[in-house]
A and B are shown apart, each in its own frame.
Chain A
Amino acid sequence: MRKAMWSLLVLTALLTSGCVTTGGASQSAVLRAKARVAPALVHIRPVKEVFSRGRREEVQIVGSGFIISADGYVVTNEHVAGQSKFVRCVLYNREVVDAEVVGTDPYTDLAVLKLTTDADDLPFCRLGRSDNLEAGQTVLAMGSPHGLARSVSLGIVSVTDRYLEDRGDQMVSPFNTWIQTDAAINPGNSGGPLVNLKGEVIGVNARMLSGAQNVGFAIPIDIAKEVIDEIIAEGRVTRSWIGETLQSMRAKTDDPTQKGVVVADVDPLSSGYEAGLRAGDVMLSVNGIPTNARFEEGLPAVRKLIADIPVGAEIPVRVLRGNEEIELKVTTAERSALKGSQAELPQWGFTAVNLTPAVARRAQLSSTNGILVTGSQMGGIAYNAGLKKGDIILRVDDIEIENLAHFDRVYGALVRSKKPRVLLDVKHGALTRFVLVKQNGNLEENAAQSASSDEGDGHAE
């Protein structure tokens, strides 16, 4: 605590000196902007579900948020309020109010909460626009860095449309670019508002570059507004996709006259693939709207164009294949959840998730049937049987497993019946194997068996 206080002091000193050089931002303008937003600032303490080592645990974390309506809707990040069982909020006047999670959207990292209060006169923020931002304009970041509530920091917009690189085959933010700012953003600022000098929220602070100095990122408020509205109306965000993975034109050629966007990959289980869309095609238009992305900053807009088309619509997609321009009729499908829902199977001591299409594809499965093991507790029944993280359970005895809910029913019946031996058909990478689960075996006997069993994937011959 002492150390934390000290680092706060250093931070304040830096920011104070920064204030003087923040060209033209008069003290009074900063104070006015802060005064407009501060009363609507929320310090958020969710109790989240965390799955680790085959166990479900609950931990309390700290984040930020802001009230957007007089009746108590609050915006924060998905990575703050997602998977939480219980959310406690501390308002600017230090009143403690519990909140419900209305909905979350992992693709944009946004979540909406509703304060459980009858009040209809809560202070709330005005949402601004993010399409007219300029690099260099003064902004304030507000929230709870390192849990220190009601903190304000000052800086400028560094870049208005930063594209964050995909990590492996995981897109960091498929549907938006980011506002990069040098206003200090620290862990705990997540979900807090980025505010312009008019006192309007122009972004939701969500990320920082660790190890760097004042390189923070906020979700532009224009896209956040759409997501927030949809969550409040529907409880979730529905998006379309046609199986596409896109790359900027530049990945293929630097020729500036070349229009369109590169189709880098098409999921074999998707409607796009079915309609004939192939990796290597150059997508020229979707539903009659040109899809140009010469640079990667243009990619989120194209992805969003497809995502915003209603699910199940038949749309024309024009592509260039070689020198031939062709039109495909593609029926959009609903884009699957970014994260599969996770569960703990306590009697056997392991945790599992539903397969996402991406996981199924990596495992070379022809469908998303089955469940993915995310961890097993040392010494538990599953662990002793040799079940481990990354295994995909395809069958239990003679039953083909469809998904987690289906598995849970089969599993529940097995646990109740105390059937002594259960055979699982398991896939890991390219290899399949049989895993025999002993439900009644005493622990010592099971442990002895696991000591002699290989941790590898089987024996190659």
Chain B
Amino acid sequence: MLSSVLGTVLVLAQTCLAQTGDGFTQETIAQVHARLQPAICVITYTSEVSNPQSGESTKRGGNALGLLVSPTGLLMAPGHMQVENSEPFNITVAVGQGDEEKEYVAKLLKKPDDVNVCLLQLESETPLRGLPYARFTSGVELEVGTPLMVVGVLSEPLDFARGIFTCRVGAILDKPRTTYCIDRAVRFGFVGGPVADAQGRVIGVVGFDLAVSEGGDLYVRSGHPLVYQTSLFKKYIDTPPGERIAPSDEEHAWLGVFTQPLSDDLAEYWGLKHNGGIVISTLVPGAPAEQVGLRRGDVITNFAGTPIRAKQDREVRGFTKLVREAGIGKAVTIKLLRDGKPMEVEVTLGSRPKSARDAGEYEDPLFGITVREITTDVRILLNLADDVQGVIVRRVKSGGTAALAGLRPGIIVMNLGDFPITSLDDFRQAVGKIAAEQPKEVTAFCRAGSATGFFRLEPRW
């Protein structure tokens, strides 16, 4: 009896010795590392981040982990590479390490809207084949405590060496879909890295937030790394999306409202029996919603045949997406509650006005100033009245005429000399006429914040 107990203890002790704390043998870890690390590459890119308020944009370099997912050079990368107001370009990808390293140029494909990853395709003059890649396994169900391995890259000072770490499933979320949380912090170079289980099967990649359409950045704030299961992105690997279309060419349908969800408390306050909905909180002047007489406080319960049941902020995104993709110029029926009574309104959707990101710019070398047209989003952001017309200063050249006069980004130029400015063309023409006359001084009438004032420019002819 005693000896059999001892035996069990001994066996246990041996198992413990052979395994790490996370339940893998050293051999398994080494195998997974060796098998997956060739598929890991390092993406280098430049991104331009624009601030819609000031109109200023800054360029900076970035790195991200890339995971080859096909032998012909399809690559997956973390979704943060490509976010609102930040456009990556000059993308190169280093495949392999040391002497084996080879650099490719890559193009960005259209970003999936239901999972927060980026997809890229390596480019080459000769067709690519036989590249190392990670093979995914679908349909593996995990439990809390299931041990996992993640492969990724270390930081730049460590030459992006490929590394591996072990962890476990720390929590399982069931909304909006089954999502596994990793039980520890993940270093930046491991975001987007493949996740393998004890059998060495690659069951997903490390991600942080859900896609925007699912409520997105809520999870960024939580700081909890997630596993994007294979099933989420399998379709994109099977049929890669087309090349990303520049946002300026992409048109979205537009209703022209700002909204909030109909929480149970709001429903109860207003005495509405309805379960969820979208409350119109602000109407954009002149937009389709206002034109058909929608009002603040209207509760949208059905949009073009789709019932709307938003109760929480993140559920509003679904409505936003629904409108965006409903089709420009299309007439849709909106069912709503006004003062508790059901109503139906037909509205023809407009097209979403150009945003600051796509706004036209004019750079004037004479005054050392770059100005931009005032777009609807900037008008809302700066809370400008409709009668405020002009162009907004985006940049001034240090030491230039505009800078010396005190003009700075964010100021709206409404008059230049005797010329009223309502568009970039007006500004361009005004500068042209001023240049022909070469006056000693030119007065600009401007708006800074809610106040107006003059700036006197002294051009150096």
- Residues of A in contact with B (beta carbons under 8 Å apart): 168-169, 245, 247, 250-254, 262, 264-265, 279-280, 358, 361-364, 421, 423, 429-434, 436, 438, 449, 452-454, 457-461
Contacts and interface: CB of A to CB of B under 8 A. Distances in A.
A382 to B, nearest CB: 15
A265 B451 CA distance: 6
Given A245-B451, A364-B385, A461-B319, A438 B279 contact: no
B453 A421 contact: no
Interface string B243-262: 00000000000111111100
Contact of A461 (B279, B323, B450, B452): B323
Across the A-B interface, the 9 shortest Cβ-Cβ residue pairs: A264-B453, A430-B383, A454-B313, A433-B281, A251-B454, A362-B450, A265-B452, A169-B451, A458-B258
Interface residues of B, number: 48
Contacts of A430: 282, 379-383
A452 to B, nearest CB: 5
Given A252-B454, A423-B266, 20 more contacts: A168-B449, A251-B455, A252-B443, A262-B454, A362-B383, A362-B450, A421-B268, A423-B269, A429-B383, A430-B282, A431-B258, A433-B282, A434-B260, A434-B297, A452-B313, A453-B313, A458-B281, A460-B320, A461-B259, A461-B319
A212 B296 CA distance: 53
B350 to A, nearest CB: 11
A248 B152 CA distance: 63
B421 to A, nearest CB: 14
Contacts of A453: 312-313
A260 to B, nearest CB: 13
B380 A431 contact: yes
A339 to B, nearest CB: 18
Interface of B: 218, 254-260, 263, 265-266, 268-269, 279, 281-282, 296-297, 312-314, 316-317, 319-320, 323-324, 377, 379-383, 385, 440-441, 443, 445, 448-456, 458
A458 B448 contact: no
Contacts of A245: 451-453
A429 B379 CA distance: 11
B296 A432 contact: yes
B258 A460 contact: yes
Contact of B454 (A264, A432, A449, A458): A264
B441 A253 contact: yes
Contacts of B268: 421
Contact of B443 (A169, A253, A265, A421): A253
Contacts of B323: 461
A279 B383 contact: no
A438 B452 CA distance: 42
28 contacts: A168-B448, A169-B449, A245-B453, A247-B453, A251-B454, A253-B441, A253-B456, A254-B456, A264-B452, A264-B453, A264-B454, A279-B445, A364-B383, A429-B380, A430-B380, A436-B265, A452-B313, A454-B313, A454-B314, A457-B258, A458-B259, A459-B258, A459-B317, A459-B320, A460-B380, A461-B257, A461-B319, A461-B320
